[in-house]
Amino acid sequence: MTSFRGTSPESPSLAGLRKNSSRPRDVFNIIMTGLSVLCVVITLIPLVLVLAFVTIQGAGSITPALFTELPPPPGLEGGGIANAIIGTLIVVAIATLISVPFGVMAAVYLSEFSKDGQVARWVRFFTNVLSGVPSIISGVFVYALLVRTGLTGYSAVAGGVALAVLMLPTIIRTTDEALNIIPQEIRWASIGVGASRYQTVLQIVLPAAIPSILTGVTLAIARAAGETAPLIFTALFSSFWPNGILQPIATLSVLVYNFAIVPFEPQQELAWAGSLILVLLVLLTSIIARVVTRQKTY
Amino acid sequence: MTASDVPNTRSRTAGEKKFDGFFVGLTTAFAIGTGLLLLAISFIILMAAIPAIREFGLQFVIASTWNPVQDAYGALPMIYGTLVSAFIALLIAVPLGLGVAIFLSENFIPLKIRTVLVFMIELLAAIPSVVYGLWGIFVLIPAMKWFFGLFGLQFIGPSMLTAALILSIMILPIIIAISRDSLASLPPDLRQASLGIGATRWGTIFRVLIPAAVSGIVGGIMLALGRAMGETMAATMVIGNSNQISLSLLEPGNTIASLLANQFAEAKGLQVSALMYAAFVLVIMTLVVNILAQVIVSNVKAKYD
């Protein structure tokens, strides 16, 4: 009768059910809740630190010259990273041109035409496993396939193909999901008025899924733009303006890598500026993707 | 009856039928092509590795010299580094990630704030690895030097521990996302039954929810392991790229991925093939881990769907 105080209408036997911060099981609960909050805080610290340092170190170098000039020779001041920005655009464009048609068509098969589901199950499985393959392996693959054989040599095309391999699983998965959300009635209606399978897919189903597909493609592009490992020995690097898609080409991510490991301060500043651009790109696309996916056609 | 009322009942022309079949065939080819891409990647790397496989055989994975001058290649230090850095990263990231996943799947805070937290953790996964590497060189390494200096310890900077720390940051989002999904997809009856017979919140979490979700959590950890083993840029920028095995975590080491990143562009002759062999070893390691993870994760999905 001493465990709780007077005015409560509860019967004494219910007292044991109330929270009591001195009982072991309640103390344990409080400690565990505290620990899980601590986990969240510790996890967010690196995010905050990375974003803060990239912003502080990179913002100082954001000048008009950054977007219009070539990188300076080792050790010299000034210059920009314009060739790397253009290079990244070119390489990512090549990767997109390859991976989007390929990925969207494969996803159309998975969600529209695979009848027994057995083939689709295997393709989905391998696509998932493919997305876990290290990005550098895609670079090694393209090196063996295109660079060493002399088909393209070190070039923007080789880099684009390597990135396309990495983008493919993301594009297939997001397109597959986007198509699966489209209500079945729409397909029946289309076939009911006499449309053939390709008309149903190209004129009815795909247009309805376009917002979600675009979101997936945008995210894949943002990730690809930040990838470095597959480009180091496929697109290589160049200190000059892009000179055709069959020549080595500078990219932002490789520039950050190359300039981070040299002992010259002006280069390191450019590396921070490059990082800031990459991070802003990822940040913006993630936020835009989030906003766009809220608007659904059906 | 006017002309416009008459329904157009013409049958499809032969050309239309042909194109329809062609279109379906094309999508099938692309889908199967994607499925086969993984095999093609493994096969092409294996083909390129054949000269080195002939030369070194299985000796390659237990020999520990990597000497391009004498064309003697063994990948043991890199295999060791790959495994050790990945396991230490897991050691750090698994408890943290589980804690966050539990916090985000319980109703400690309003859903709106939880959504923001989930988004921030997704961002952690979206930051390019080369940016983590840059941050590691100029922020984490000086910070660690200062920290070890407090205890009077010599710390050179690039080391296995630095790499493992960065890797743990990079794999946290995967562990959190998949553990949270598998906790959130548990039937609510489990929780209600447990609370109903008088278990506390954390009693329920430890004795009911985690055991029920354990296979999904393990699957997520396996995916994270695969990611950590293959992560290249962040590792190569802070691990020191020393091709020797040193048992101290404060000494430089190397991983297969960072070996590839460092040497491919300038490699010649047998070295290229040896690098391909190392890449093939990495492919096998990550494939085993990833296939196991996929099987576990997809079984979990089937269980509660």
User: All domains of chain B, ordered by start, with CATH?
Assistant: 58-304 (1.10.3720.10)
Residue A1 lies in a domain: no
**A154 DSSP assignment:** S
The neighbouring-strand residues paired with B66 are B73
Residue A38 lies in a domain: no
> ipTM of the predicted structure?
0.90
> How many whole angstroms separate alpha carbon A107 and alpha carbon B27?
8
What angle do the packed helices B76-105 and B256-263 form, to 10 degrees? 120
Q: Which amino acid is at B44?
A: I
Question: Is A103 in Cβ contact with B45 (below 8 Å)?
Answer: no
| Site from B131, B201, B298, B299 to mutate, A interface, most A CB atoms within 10 angstroms | B131
Q: Per residue in B176-225, pLDDT tens?
A: 999 998 898 889 899 999 999 988 889 999 999 999 999 889 999 999 99
Long-range contacts of B68-71 (CB under 8 A, 24+ apart): B68/B263, B68/B267, B68/B271, B71/B269, B71/B270, B71/B271
pLDDT tens for chain B, 305 residues: list them.
455 566 667 788 888 888 889 999 999 999 999 989 999 999 999 999 999 999 898 889 888 888 888 888 999 999 999 999 999 999 999 999 999 999 999 888 898 999 899 989 988 888 999 999 999 999 999 999 999 988 888 888 899 999 999 999 999 999 999 999 889 888 989 999 999 998 888 999 999 999 999 988 999 999 999 999 999 998 999 998 888 888 888 889 999 999 999 888 888 888 999 999 999 999 999 999 999 988 887 776 665 54
Q: Which amino acid is at B241?
A: N
Q: Please report the residues numbered 16 through 75 in chain B whose beta carbons come closer than 8 angstroms to any beta carbon of chain A.
A: 16-17, 19-20, 23-24, 26-28, 30-38, 40-41, 44-45, 47-48
* Exposure b/e, B78-87, CB count within 10 A at least 16 = b: bbbbbbbbbe
Residue A206 lies in a domain: yes
Q: Return the residue of B nearest to A130 by Cα.
A: B38
**B245 DSSP assignment:** -
Pairing of strands B66-67, B72-73: antiparallel
| Site from B233, B254, B285, B299 to mutate, A interface, most A CB atoms within 10 angstroms | B233
Q: How many domains does chain A have?
A: 1
Encoding tokens for residue A271?
Answer: 């590396």
Q: Which of B126, B299, B125 is nearest to B224 (CA)?
A: B125
Q: Nearest 5 degrees, angle CA A92-CA A174-CA A214?
A: 55
CB contact at 8 A, B237 and B136: yes
Q: Please report the residues numbered 3 through 32 in chain A whose beta carbons come closer than 8 angstroms to any beta carbon of chain B.
A: 17, 25-26, 28-29, 32
Residue A158 lies in a domain: yes
Question: Is B127 in Cβ contact with A282 (below 8 Å)?
Answer: yes
Q: Does B97 touch chain A (CB under 8 A)?
A: yes
Domain assignment of residue A74, given as a range: 65-294
Residue A74 lies in a domain: yes
Q: Find chain B residues with C-beta within 8 A of A275's C-beta.
A: 128, 130-131, 134
Closest to A29 (Cβ–Cβ): which among B12, B135, B200? Answer: B200
Q: Per residue in A124-177, pLDDT tens?
A: 999 999 998 999 999 999 999 998 888 898 999 999 999 999 999 999 999 999
Q: Nearest 5 degrees, angle CA A246-CA A252-CA A253?
A: 100
* Exposure b/e, B129-151, CB count within 10 A at least 16 = b: bbbbbbbbbbbbbeebeeebeee
Q: Does A187 touch chain B (CB under 8 A)?
A: no
The neighbouring-strand residues paired with B72 are B67
Residue A116 lies in a domain: yes
CB contact at 8 A, B256 and B79: yes
The alpha carbon of residue B280 is apart from the nearest alpha carbon of chain A, in Å, by 9
Q: What is the CATH number of the domain that holds A110?
A: 1.10.3720.10
The alpha carbon of residue A271 is apart from the nearest alpha carbon of chain B, in Å, by 8
Q: Give this prediction's pTM.
A: 0.90
Encoding tokens for residue A121?
Answer: 């199950």
> How many whole angstroms separate alpha carbon A256 and alpha carbon A277?
11
Residue A105 lies in a domain: yes
Closest to A228 (Cβ–Cβ): which among B26, B130, B289? Answer: B130
> How many whole angstroms separate alpha carbon A151 and alpha carbon A147?
6
Question: Is B294 in Cβ contact with A129 (below 8 Å)?
Answer: yes
